[in-house]
Amino acid sequence: MNTTTLSKVVLVTGASSGIGEATARLLVKQGHRVVLGARRTDRLEALADELRSSGGQVAFRSLDVTRLDDVREFVAFAEATYGPADVIVNNAGVMPLSPLNALNVDEWDRMIDVNVRGVLHGIAATLPGMEARGRGHIINISSIGGHAVSPTAAVYCATKYAVRAISDGLRQETDKIRVTVVSPGVVESELADSISDAQARDAMKAFRRVALAPEAIARAIAYAIEQPDDVDVSELIVRPTASPY
Ligand code: NDP
């Protein structure tokens, strides 16, 4: 356990797998007090038990980011457990890709609800407290899909462009709160498991062959957090070296 880092209270949404899980592991190891949120609490419990057994400070709570009340309760739980939120990592996301003409309207709605409303709910639940304290850090996970569009990914990319727009707007509106948007390239995770469309699933197999370990994104997030309060790492794109995308 490295306790030399200033210990912050960090909330991570979507901490039950992939990038969120790797981020939680790294930040706990660095000595931060981390609060995990996701719907699969069995996974969060197992992760929290493991990290506590090596001395980490970590708590978890069931969280559905599509519900504002739930996100507010998650933040209140974190504050009651460890104190005011210094950082929230709005990481929860889904990616059920399909061509627009497949009219998978329910999946479009789910991406908008989780990837856009979820981020906005994270902001709504933490911004007032951060503004009152005059400090805080909101980290939103976009994607290379927030920088370029590809077939079957129109709605997913729209949500990730939105995350960048929201992040940059928030950054310009405040001179006290740090705002970071991290755009990963392809990362090994469970993200593509939710693709129900056969054409999109096959295309993704080739697209996702060259992938980063989620720890690479965790390190980018940790880098943004460890900067002093007057330094805002506003945007990071992290790709596999061997990937052209
Ligand atoms: P995973 O599918 O492994 O993780 C997604 C996480 O989001 C899970 O912990 C899941 O938890 C959580 N989640 C989904 N829906 C909700 C919800 N309604 N409420 C709360 N949590 C939810 O994928 P990644 O780790 O790859 O994805 C993390 C982020 O990174 C996403 O925003 C994704 O768009 C982005 N990203 C990923 C890339 C990649 O190649 N992997 C590339 C670029 C960006 P649970 O199901 O338990 O609720």
Q: Calculate mean pLDDT across residues 153-173.
A: 98
Confidence band for 210, pLDDT divided at 50, 70 and 90: very high
Q: Residue 1 pLDDT more than 80?
A: no
Does ligand 1 come within 6 angstroms of the Cβ of 204? no
- The average pLDDT across 140-152 equals 97
Residue 14, ligand 1, Cβ within 6 A: yes
Tell me: the pLDDT tens digits for 26-43?
Answer: 999 999 999 999 999 999
Q: What is the pLDDT of residue 204?
A: 87
Cβ of residue 97 lying under 6 Å from some atom of ligand 1: no
The reported pLDDT for the residue numbered 206 is: 84
Say how many Å lie between the CA of residue 139 and the centre of ligand 1.
Answer: 14
Protein residue whose Cα sits closest to atom 8 of ligand 1? 14
| CATH number for domain 9-238, candidates 3.40.50.150, 3.30.1360.120, 3.20.20.20, 3.40.50.720 | 3.40.50.720
Average pLDDT, the chain: 96
Q: What confidence score (pLDDT) does residue 79 get?
A: 98
**Chain segment 54-105, per-residue pLDDT in tens:** 999 999 999 999 999 999 999 999 999 999 999 999 999 999 999 999 999 9
Pocket residue to mutate for ligand 1, from 16, 64, 117, 159, most atoms within 8 A of Cβ? 16
Domain boundaries, the chain: 9-238
Q: How confident is residue 4, by pLDDT bands cut at 50, 70 and 90?
A: very low
Beta-carbon-side half-sphere exposure of residue 106 (alpha carbons within 13 Å): 4
Asked whether the whole model's pTM tops 0.95, one would answer yes
- Which of left, alpha, beta for 55 (phi over 0: left; psi -120 to 50: alpha)? left
Q: Is the pLDDT of residue 2 over 70?
A: no
Mean pLDDT of 217-236: 98
Confidence of residue 203 (pLDDT cuts 50, 70, 90): confident
Expressed in angstroms and rounded, the spacing between residue 144 Cα and the centre of ligand 1 is 15
| 156 tagged catalytic | yes
Average pLDDT of the residues in 165-187: 98
Long-range contacts of 56-62 (CB under 8 A, 24+ apart): 56/1, 56/28, 56/29, 57/7, 57/28, 57/31, 57/32, 57/33, 57/82, 58/24, 58/28, 58/33, 58/34, 59/33, 59/34, 59/35, 60/15, 60/35, 60/36, 61/35, 61/36, 61/37, 62/37, 62/38
**HEC letters along the chain:** CCCCCCCCEEEEECCCCHHHHHHHHHHHHCCCEEEEEECCHHHHHHHHHHHHHCCCEEEEEECCCCCHHHHHHHHHHHHHHHCCCCEEEECCCCCCCCCHHHCCHHHHHHHHHHHHHHHHHHHHHHHHHHHHHCCEEEEEECCHHHCCCCCCCHHHHHHHHHHHHHHHHHHHHCCCEEEEEEEECCECCCHHHHCCCHHHHHHHHHHCCCCECHHHHHHHHHHHHHCCCCCCCCEEEECCCCCCC
* Ligand 1 atom nearest 15 alpha carbon: 9
